[in-house]
Structure 1
Amino acid sequence: MQKIVPFLWFEDSKAEEAAKFYISIFKNSKIVNTMRYGKSGPGQEGSVMSVTFQLEGQEFYALNDNPQFKFSEALSLFVNCDTQEEIDKLWEKLKEGGMELGPGWVKDKFGLAWQIVPRLLGEYLSDSDPEKSQRVIKAMMQMYKLDIDKLKQAYEGK
C-alpha cells in the first residue's frame, strides 16, 4: 500500500459509481475493496461506505457522505499522456456530463477536475529559449483540449 493516498469525498452515494466510471476509462485499473455500512451506521445498512480503487497503479480512497463538501479546481488530477489519441479518449470520456474548464482542464460529472496533458508539454515550457516556451503558452491558451501537433508547431515556430 502506498504511503499517501488521495481521499475523495463524494456526495449522494456516488463513490462506487465514480470508482467504476474511472476504472472504465484508465487501463491497469481496478476496484480493490468496497466497504459497506453495518447495523451501527451511520449510513443505511448494506449501502456503500467507501471504495478503494486503483488507476494506473495509483491508489485512491472514495468515501460516500453528505454533500457538505464539494470538489474544486484547487485540487486536480494530472494525467501525462503520450499520444493525441490518449488525450482525445480521456478528454471525451471525462467531459461526458461534465465541462471543459480551460487549457488541458476538464471537470467530470462528479465535479472532480482533471488535467489531460501531453507529456512533452513540460519539456516545451521549460525550454531554455524563452521565445519557444512563450509561443507554446500562447498556443496552449487558445485551446481547451490540448493538441500535440499545434503545440509542436508553436514550439518549432511554424
Structure 2
Amino acid sequence: MQKIVPNLWFQGNAAEGVEFYEHALPNTHVVGSSDYPTEGLLEFQKDFAGELLTAVLEIEGYQVLLINAGEEFTPNPAISFLLNFDPSRDENAKATLQRVWDRLSPGSTTLMPLDTYPFSEYYGWVQDRYGVSWQLMLTNPEGEPRPFVTPSLMFGGPAQNHAKQAVEYYTGVFGDTKPGAFMPYADQTGPAGPGAVMYSDFTLEGQWFSAMDSGVTQDFSFTPGVSLMVNCNDQDEIDRFWEALSAVPEAEQCGWCTDQFGVSWQIVPVDIDDLIKQPGAFERMLTMKKLDIAQLRGD
C-alpha cells in the first residue's frame, strides 16, 4: 500500500471530479471508495448522509484520494502535481501531454503557458476547474527516471524560503529517503533569496516529492485543500508521526494536523475505512484529535 497519499478537498462535487479525472488523465480509474454514514453526523455534515465520502483514484499506479466535503477549503497551487511525460516510455509523449493539457483546460486557469522553457522542451502549469494544479512536463529521456506523478510543494507566503529546511525535516521524520536534484537560486528572484530552492526532489518512504521556494510573491500558502495522508500500521506509528508533524494545536481534529511549515497531514491507521464502518466508530472519531485505534474499535 502507498504510504503517503495526497488528499484533494472537493466542495460536494467529488463524484463529478472522479469522472473528470478518469477522462482527463491517462490510465486513471477508481480503486476504492467510502460513503458517509446515515447516522451520527455533525450538523454541518447531515446533508452528506449516505453520500460519497472519499474516492481513491489511481493515476498510472499512483493513488490520490478525493474528499467529498463542504466549502471550508479548496486546493491551491501550493501543492501541485508534476506529471512526467517520458519519451523513453511513450514515443508519443508530447502528443499525450498535449491531449491531457487540452482535457484539463476547460474552466481552468493557466499558471504557466504550455511552451518551451530552459528546463523542458515542452511544459505548462494549469489549475483546473476544481482548483487542483498540474505541471505537465516533457521529460528529458536521458535524465534519471522519475515516476509519472510527483507531488510538488511550493513554499510561498508565510512559508517563503523554507523549502530546504522543510525537506531536511521531512527526510528526518520519514524512512526510505534519498536526495535527488537540487538547484538553488543564484540571485535574488522575487521573494526567493540567493541559495533558496529553485527546484529539488527527494523521496519519503520511497515515494518521490519535489519542493521549491516561489520566485514570485504569493498571497497563498498551504491549506487542508490538499493534504498528505500517512497510512500507519499501528498506534505506535500514529503516535510517532503525530508528534513529529503536529505543530498547530488548533488545527488538530479527526486525525488532521498541520506542521511547522503549514502543510496539512492526516495521520491515520492503514485500515481506517474498515474501522469507521464499525458501529459508533464514525461518531467516536469526530470527538478525537489524534486518532486512537482502540477507541475507534470501541475497546
What is the distance in 2 between the residues matched to 1:150 and 1:47? 44
Spell out the pairing of 1:56-135 with structure 2 (5 A cutoff). 56-65=205-214, 66-96=217-247, 98-99=248-249, 100-125=251-276, 127=277, 132=278, 134-135=279-280
Q: Does 1:6 align with 2:6?
A: no
- Alignment partner of 1:23 out of 161, 171, 177: 171
What is the distance in 2 between the residues matched to 1:44 and 1:21? 20
- How far apart are residue 3 of structure 1 and its match? 0.5
Identity of counterpart residues, as a percentage?
35
What is the distance in 2 between the residues matched to 1:23 and 1:16? 11
What is the distance in 2 between the residues matched to 1:103 and 1:21? 24
Q: How many residues align?
A: 147
Larger Rg belongs to: 2
Q: Equivalent residue for 2:295? A: 150
Q: Deviations over 1:21-77 (max 9, x none)?
A: 111111112322211123695654444322211111111111102443311111100
Paired residue secondary structure (1:16): helix
What is the distance in 2 between the residues matched to 1:147 and 1:86? 11
Q: Deviations over 1:4-35 (max 9, x none)?
A: 11111113211110111111111112322211
What TM-score does the superposition give when structure 2 sets the normalisation length? 0.46
What is the distance in 2 between the residues matched to 1:106 and 1:82? 18
2:255 partner amino acid: G
1:3 partner amino acid: F
Superposition misfits of 4+ residues, deviation over 6 angstroms: none
Which sections of structure 1, spanning at least 5 residues, go unmatched? none
More strand by share: 2
Give the alignment's Cα RMSD to 1 decimal.
2.0
Contact 1:30–1:54 (CA under 8 A) maintained in structure 2: yes
Which sections of structure 2, spanning at least 5 residues, go unmatched? 1-145
Contact 1:20–1:31 (CA under 8 A) maintained in structure 2: no
What is the distance in 1 between the residues matched to 2:282 and 2:187? 55
Contact 2:163–2:196 (CA under 8 A) maintained in structure 1: no
- Alignment partner of 1:48 out of 197, 204, 225: 197
